[in-house]
Amino acid sequence: MSKKIPVYFSDAAFARLQQLMGEHGKPSPTLNALLENSLEPLQHTVSTSKALSIINAELQKVYPQRTCPLPVTLESIPAGFPAPSVNDIDKVIDLNDILISNPEATFLNVIKTTSMVNAGLEYGDIVVIDRSLEPRHRSIVVALIDQHELTIKRLMVSAQMSRAELEEEFGEDGQDIPERWLKAESPEYDNICLKPGQTFSVLAVVTWNLKKMLA
């Protein structure tokens, strides 16, 4: 492996890099694994290294390396509909094309809370999330609280809420209404409104819920 790379290494570090790269500079499986699990720098106002370490620990990156075309029937399927024949098939689709719009920014996460059950996210569900999407009012998002705690909640933008909605959440007085806050979709959990000194940053948007229907 050549040492002509635009980065300075100590002798010990370069020797280790050579060991990882393998003979003739061919990447070893170890280095491949490290590179494939790396992420692009986060475009957020939080600590990048801390956010990356949290994401790596909690989320699983998606690698759409193969396709699996599935048939789509021409008509809606009522109860008791028999197996479709060849003439009933309209087209075939690949779930990668539906679920993944940006492979480099797409991850999976297993829901480990019941705080979003009224939004259809139950404990154990697998959700698809996309770091490249711009969050909107009422988007279900992955948020980082105080640079160390990840949570999945509904993003609420107070300026885009009706007066009735604000009164329902904050009362008729409506004092100290935050510009943005995180809504829990379960009466057993409190919404997250930042206290003085607290911060939160939206890291990604939940796009799909891969809910298992088998008992």
Residue of 38, 47, 49, 115 marked catalytic = 115
Give the N- to C-terminal CA distance of the chain in Å, as an integer: 54
Q: Mean pLDDT, 10 residues at a time, over the chain (215 residues)?
A: 48 60 53 43 43 58 68 58 56 83 91 96 94 96 92 96 92 86 96 92 95 84
Say which DSSP state 161 is in.
S
59 and 129 in a single domain? The answer is yes
Distance CA 83, CA 133 (A): 38
The whole-number pLDDT of residue 95 equals 85
- The pLDDT assigned to 206 comes to 97
Q: What pLDDT score was predicted for residue 176?
A: 84
Give dist(CA 203, CA 91) in Å, integer. 36
Tell me, yes or no, whether 141 and 72 share the same domain. Answer: no
Active-site residue, from 10, 85, 153, 162 = 153
Q: What is the DSSP string of 137-150?
A: TT-EEEEEETTTEE
Structural domain total, the chain: 3
In a shared domain, residues 81 and 180: no
Answer yes or no: 38 catalytic: no
- Spatial distance between the Cα atoms of 130 and 134, rounded to a whole number of angstroms: 9
**Residue 2: inside a domain:** no
Domain check: are 91 and 107 in the same one? no
Do the domain assignments include residue 3? no
Instruction: Name the one residue in this structure whose structure tokens are 């290494």.
Output: 9
Q: Any catalytic annotation for residue 26? A: no
pLDDT attached to residue 88: 56
Q: Pick from 51, 63, 59: which is nearest to 149 by CA?
A: 51
Owning domain of residue 27: 11-40
Do 145 and 187 lie in one domain? The reply is yes
Q: How far apart are CA 140 and CA 41, in angstroms?
A: 22
